[in-house]
Amino acid sequence: MALFGTDGVRGLANGSLTADLALTLAQATAVVLGQGRTAEARRAAGRRLTAVVARDPRISGHFLSAAVEAGLASSGVDVLDAGTIPTPAAAFLVADVDADFGVMISASHNPAPDNGIKIFARGGVKLPDVVEQRIEAALDRPKLQPTGGDVGRIRRFADAEDRYVVHLLGSLPHRLDGLHVVLDCANGAASGVSPETFKDAGAKVTVIGADPDGLNINDGVGSTHLDTLAATVVAVGADLGIAHDGDADRCLAVDASGTVVDGDQIMAILAIAMKSRGELVDDTLVATVMSNLGLHRAMDAAGIRLLQTAVGDRYVLEAMNEGGYSLGGEQSGHVIMSRFATTGDGVLTGLHLAAEMARRRKTLAELASVMTVYPQVLLNVPDVDRDRASTDEGVLAAVAAAEAALGDSGRVLLRPSGTEPVVRVMVEAVSSAEAQRVADELAAVVRERLAL
């Protein structure tokens, strides 16, 4: 089984993800990312290899980051320990200080017992598959073992958070004066930096989910639990609410009435705003095949091309990098603004969403109305042969019939899951009842045709 998943190495902390694995993975990373012309040029110029290491507030992050730093320093890499900061902050800092690579200890929106290790290459970019494969292969090979003064130094990255906040504030097209924002920080990595940045940008801020104790990350709060945020926004009469996940690479929102504004709607708002300023490269937005039909229609009406990718922010990033595009993301709230970030950044996204409200002097509900959200039903069909989902004639015929029946008023997507032993059936239609009926019919065909 491959060690790396769709977003780094993830597992139960001190279960599958041990201190030994973290240390060895760090040593293998030093071997692989310490090679190449750039690394050799640095050594020739008398510069040591440097890595930024950060974590979210999970209690297991302490021993895992210690193991990673030990592995790097024992391989001759100098470590800048940035402490508890968001994943996008770590990526930004790798580029900002011209480090050779970076390591983030986080399991994102997963519960506290889990943790993960994400690795960024020079420039703060995620590793391509081929480099992850090289690192995995290097786990069982000889490691770098410098001695004496050649071992790495570990020192605190004292101004890490300040650098990130200055960067975020410098990206804003408009201040947030006059806006009242409720921030749900998921008891995670955004708990310090997000409230500070929104206040510095001029907003009045009410904060929830910003008391991390190492065990309560994502526990009933954050982007996967929006009820408390919605209730708080209504109770305090705020203009909007912003929800992050544990490592703050996501952003979802609620308007003044407590209605959820998802990642598709946020992308629609930002795409139109960026096009109006001439900042949307080739008038193109990149999103996955799971994005709502309403996003397709809103972008078409705005004269914006919607380029679709496979599910996963890494595929969105790949398409953005290949085409040089400036905006992309997922319905889940991973939004990538490539002018300012190399990965999804929930704080950056929330700031720019609020800035558009302030700039246009419109409510979030008014801005979000540019997109009609079509009812969407997603069913997971277990115990079937995933490999035949895209080739079985009966399944393909059923999908074609459903698409013909829905016409322009709906959409069908059937695909094998890349992470679970299921086939996913997604249907969008003008009504929830119609979407549910079509999805149930397709799921029944999948169960019958692909049964194991």
Domains of the chain: 9-157 (3.40.120.10), 163-368 (3.40.120.10), 376-449 (3.30.310.50)
Residue 259: per-residue pLDDT: 98
What pTM was estimated for this model as a whole? 0.92
**CA distance from start to end of the chain:** 22
Tens-digit pLDDT string for the chain (452 aa): 579 887 789 999 999 999 999 999 999 999 999 876 666 777 767 788 999 999 999 999 999 999 999 999 999 999 999 999 999 999 999 999 999 999 999 999 999 999 999 999 999 999 988 999 999 999 999 999 999 999 999 999 999 999 999 999 999 999 999 999 999 999 999 999 999 999 999 999 999 999 999 999 999 999 999 999 999 999 999 999 999 999 999 999 999 999 999 999 999 999 999 999 999 999 999 999 999 999 999 999 999 999 999 888 889 999 999 999 999 999 999 999 999 999 999 999 999 999 999 999 999 999 999 999 999 999 999 999 988 998 999 999 999 999 999 998 899 999 888 667 899 999 999 999 999 999 999 999 999 999 98
Specify whether the CB–CB gap between 370 and 269 falls below 8 A: yes
Backbone angles phi, psi at 51, to 5 degrees: -135, 140
Binding residues: 108, 245, 247, 249
Question: CB under 8 Å to 266, separation ≥6 — which residues?
Answer: 251, 252, 253, 329, 333, 335, 349, 353
Summarize pLDDT for 265-298 with one digit per residue, the tens.
999 999 999 999 999 999 999 999 999 999 999 9
Sign of CA dihedral 128, 138, 46, 70: positive
SS3 367: helix
Residue 312: per-residue pLDDT: 83
Instruction: Give the CB-side neighbour count of residue 355, counting CA atoms within 13 A.
Output: 22
Instruction: Give the CB-side neighbour count of residue 132, counting CA atoms within 13 A.
Output: 17
Binding residues for Mg(2+): 108, 245, 247, 249
Enzyme catalytic residues: 108
CA pair distance 74, 167, nearest whole angstrom: 32
